Amino acid sequence: MKKVLVTGANGYIARHMVLSLLDQGCKVIGLDNGVNSKNPDMFFGPLAAEYVHGDIGDLACLENIFYRHPDIDSVIHFAGRIYVSESLEKPDFYYQANTIAAFQFFNFVLHRGVRNIVFSSSAGVYGEAKTLPIPENHPREPINPYGRSKLATEWILEDMAALFPDLSVTMLRYFNVAGADMQGRTGQSSPKAHHLIEVACEAALGLRDGMALFGTDYNTQDGTCVRDYIHVNDLVNAHLSALKYNAMTNEKGARAMNCGYGQGYSNLEIINTVKKISGQDFKVREEARRKGDPAALVAANDMIMTALDWRPQYNDIETIVSSAFEWKKRQCDQSR
C-alpha cells in the first residue's frame, strides 16, 4: 500500500488506524465529516498526506480528493453512524449514512481504480447468536437498524466484487472494540460516551453520577449481556493484515472475517474490572433491557488467525480496561 484513503478518519478506531499506517510509512488521506468526532488530532498535520473535512456521500469532495491524489490505491472505510440505541430512534439516518452514502462512495472509488478495500462491519449483522462462539457462516439476521444497515453494505460489496473481478474486499466484523493506544497517543474521546468501558471509566473519574446497567435478566452467567472485547491496537493490526492480504492474494472477491478474541465478558464483569483498576466504587443503577441488544456476542476467530496470520497482543481484559482508564484520566487531568 502506497497511499490509503481512510474515511471517518477522526473517529475512535480510525485515529488509531491512521497512526498505525503512518508508522508503516504509508501516505494517508483522512476524510471525516465531524459527526462522531471532535477536532482533528495533531497527527493530521505534516506527517499525513492530508486531512479533508467532508462527507463520503459528497461526490464533489471525492472528485477533488482524487484529482489531487489519483494514486490512491487502498481504502479503509470506517465512516458511519455507530450507536444501536440511536438507530432504533433514527433508522433513516442510519440507512442514509451507513448504506446509501456507502454505496455512493464505493461506486465512486471503484470507478477510479481502487481495488483494495477494507470495510468496517459489525457483529451486529448476526443478531441473536444461535451458537457460541459465532462463526462467519452464522445466519445474518440483525435485530436493529444499525446491524441491518451494515448488512446491506456487506451485500453491496459482495455484489460489487462480482461486477469488478479484480476487486479484493475484506469485511471485518467487529465485536466490542475498547482500550487506547498502548503508546498513549490517542484513545476513545466520544462527544457523548455510549460504550460500556468508556462510560464506566467516566463514572470512576467522577465525570458522571454513576452509570446504568441495562438488563440483568438475560440468559447469561450473571444475567447481564456478554460481549467479546478486542483491544483497539489488535484491531488496527487486523486491518493492516487485511490490506496486505488483499494486495497479495490471488483469491479476489469479498470475504468476511470476525475480529474478536473468542472470549466473552459480561457487563457486570466489565464494571467490576473498571472498579478494580480505578480503585473507585461508583454507583451502578439497574435498569430495564435496551431494545436491540443481543444477549451474547462472542467471536469465532479461526478464519482471521488462519487467513491473515493475525495474532492478538493484548488479549487481557485488565490491559484493555487499564489503557482505556489511563487515557480517559489523562484527558480529565489536562482539562482541569
Query: Which residues are designated catalytic?
Result: 146
| CA gap 311, 7 in Å, rounded | 25
Asked if 293 and 84 count as a contact pair (C-beta separation under 8 A), the reply is: yes
By C-alpha distance, which of 62, 61, 41 is closest to 188?
Answer: 41
- Is cis: bond before 165, omega within 30 of 0? no
By C-alpha distance, which of 323, 314, 310, 16 is closest to 172?
Answer: 310
Asked if 54 and 84 count as a contact pair (C-beta separation under 8 A), the reply is: no
- Close Cβ partners of 155 (under 8 Å, ≥ 6 residues apart): none
Asked if 36 and 190 count as a contact pair (C-beta separation under 8 A), the reply is: yes
- Close Cβ partners of 130 (under 8 Å, ≥ 6 residues apart): 138, 139
As given in the structure block, the three cell numbers for residue 50 are 492530508
Cα distances (angstroms) measured from residue 5 to each of 33, 43, 65, 77, 181:
14, 15, 9, 8, 21
| CA gap 156, 158 in Å, rounded | 5
| CA gap 228, 94 in Å, rounded | 24
Asked if 178 and 232 count as a contact pair (C-beta separation under 8 A), the reply is: yes
- Residue 115 CB neighbour total at 10 angstroms: 18
